[in-house]
Amino acid sequence: MNQFSRNTVLLAAAVALAGCSGANSSGQTDSSPPLQGATIGGPFTLTDQDGKTVTSASFAGKYRVMYFGYTYCPDVCPVDMQHLGQGMRMLAKSDPGVAAKVVPIFVSVDPERDTPPVLKQYVAAFYPTMVGLTGSDQAIAKTAKEYHIFYQKVPAKNGSGQYLINHSQVAYLMSPENKPIALVPVDESAQSVADTLRRWVS
Asked if residues 35 and 178 have their Cβ atoms less than 8 Å apart, the reply is: no
Q: How many CB atoms lie within 10 A of CB 4?
A: 10
Q: Is 167 annotated as a binding residue?
A: yes
Asked if residues 48 and 133 have their Cβ atoms less than 8 Å apart, the reply is: yes
Asked if residues 122 and 132 have their Cβ atoms less than 8 Å apart, the reply is: yes
Q: How far apart are CA 128 and CA 132, in angstroms?
A: 11
Q: Is 73 annotated as a binding residue?
A: yes
Strand, coil or helix: 143: helix
Which amino acids are annotated as binding site for Cu cation, given as ranges? 73, 77, 167
Which amino acids are annotated as binding site, given as ranges? 73, 77, 167
